[in-house]
Structure 1
Amino acid sequence: MKKIICCIFLLFSLHQFLISQTTGRISLAGDWRFELDSADIGEKELWYTKTLIDSIKLPGITDEGGYGPEVIETGKLSRLHEYIGKAWYQMDISIPENWKNKNVSLCFERIMWKSKLWLNDQYIDAQESLLTPHYYFLGKLSPGTYRLTLCIDNREIYPIGNEWGHSYGEQTQIIWNGIIGEMIMSSHPDVQISQIRTFPDDTGQLDIEISVLNRSKKGTESKTVF
């Protein structure tokens, strides 16, 4: 029992330390500019360089915004609107003065299935995940205003099938386009803990793996005391 209590206390302490490294958090929930891309022409026409004209609330999905063809179906519960394809989301973000020389990252939870990000006219990265958040690293940004453009594609990327793909299938959930989880922009120092993993076994031993991310050009010394 003492071992379990010590392990819980240690994990709680590590979790609090990990949170303390985030020097600032800004929610990106709210009104976003928006445009459907059913013809898949957005990237070719450089939509990330223009101001999108429609609007949608995030966290949310295109169904709730009333976008996509209306679904007319009887005999079972169904969606009011359905859209499969690319959709573009855009917001102006402000980097505060106290974030100067800090690393800026984004976290978007519950995206289906692929996302691509642009900052102003610059392509940042792409993410693919049905389960884990989509993370983006923006680097060190000067205080000011930037245009953030996110393209989300909810089409099936890999043929996982409806029978086994519980995260992607109308039988288990709707195949939405949008973001329904936490949307956070945060700032971080050059050296931070990026991940903590635990490996318990049936003998009562607990191994802890800590990954440290060092974006500085300097070596750092670490000490572990248990």
Structure 2
Amino acid sequence: MLTVESMPDPDASDPDATDPQTVPEARSALDLSGRWRCALDPDAVGELEQWFRTGLPEGSPAVALPGSIQHQGLGDPVGLETPWTGSIVDRSYFTDERYAPYREPDNIAVPFWLQPRVYFRGAAWFQREVDVPADWVGRDVVLSLERVHWESTVWVDERQIGSERSLTTAHRFDVGRLSPAGTCSPSVWTTARWSTSDPTRTASPTTRRATGTGWSARSPLPRCRR
């Protein structure tokens, strides 16, 4: 879940006030579910080329969040040489004639786990413009992303906010105070890199499921709070 929470200015409230109507609203929400521009970045060039400043490459498609980029057709066709995170231990898949029809280029079917429609390994970028409510100006804003798989870095209006790495807790970013009212442009970079010593050891930044484990991780599910 992607949320933006606008916390009240502590200077605007009287700590000794007893009338609840004199205390500013604790927080409110702005829903960001919908279409986000998306660009796959398998060669990790987006930060070097400053996509957060220039925008995503021309022709970058829009995807629905919450959702999986694989289920929306972004990635490479699955084939016999697909570098799965897990290994196909039972080599009969490559030799047994019973599996021959499922080794054909247009009919690949791996019997050992839930197979995505397409495969992608590397980083992905998500970007959109957000209308900033007038009453958010001068208030502290927090950006929260849930179900990130499992590293993320966020920029807002060309300013890097921070990075997080976790599969089990939401990624929270202190955006600070937005001024003036109008629009802001958050850029979200995600990757499933799970070996800091070997950047090639990655899975997809979207949904990934392995038979027997029952776990999955998905692209950020967006919601916004003020």
TM > 0.5: yes
**How has the CA–CA distance of structure 1 residues 134 and 124 changed in structure 2, closer, same or farther, with 3 Å as cutoff?**
same
Structure of higher RCO (CA pairs closer than 8 Å, 6+ residues apart) = 2
RMSD: 2.5
Kindly state the Cα deviation for residue 107 of structure 1 after the two structures are TM-superposed: 1.4
Task: Name the counterpart of 1:148.
Answer: 186
SS of 2:119's partner is coil
1:73 to 109, 114, 127: 109
Task: Name the counterpart of 2:176.
Answer: 139
Q: Does 1:62 align with 2:99?
A: no
Q: Distance in 2 between matches of 1:185 and 1:94?
A: 11
**How has the CA–CA distance of structure 1 residues 66 and 169 changed in structure 2, closer, same or farther, with 3 Å as cutoff?**
closer
8 Å CA contact retained: 2:147, 2:217 = no
8 Å CA contact retained: 1:154, 1:175 = no
- Cα deviation code 1:81-121 (max 9, x no counterpart): 12121000001011111112211111111000100000111
**How has the CA–CA distance of structure 1 residues 174 and 85 changed in structure 2, closer, same or farther, with 3 Å as cutoff?**
farther
Q: Does 1:124 align with 2:161?
A: yes
Please report the TM-score for the alignment, with normalisation by the length of structure 1: 0.63
Structure 1 outlier segments of 4+, above 6 Å? none
8 Å CA contact retained: 1:36, 1:86 = yes
Output the amino acid matched with 2:76.
P
Please report the TM-score for the alignment, with normalisation by the length of structure 2: 0.63
Output the amino acid matched with 1:56.
V
Structure 2: runs of 5+ lacking an equivalent: 1-23, 79-107, 198-207
Give the share of equivalent positions with the same residue, in percent. 28
**How has the CA–CA distance of structure 1 residues 64 and 174 changed in structure 2, closer, same or farther, with 3 Å as cutoff?**
farther
- Cα deviation code 1:59-98 (max 9, x no counterpart): 1111111111122224354111121210000010111111
**How has the CA–CA distance of structure 1 residues 74 and 60 changed in structure 2, closer, same or farther, with 3 Å as cutoff?**
same
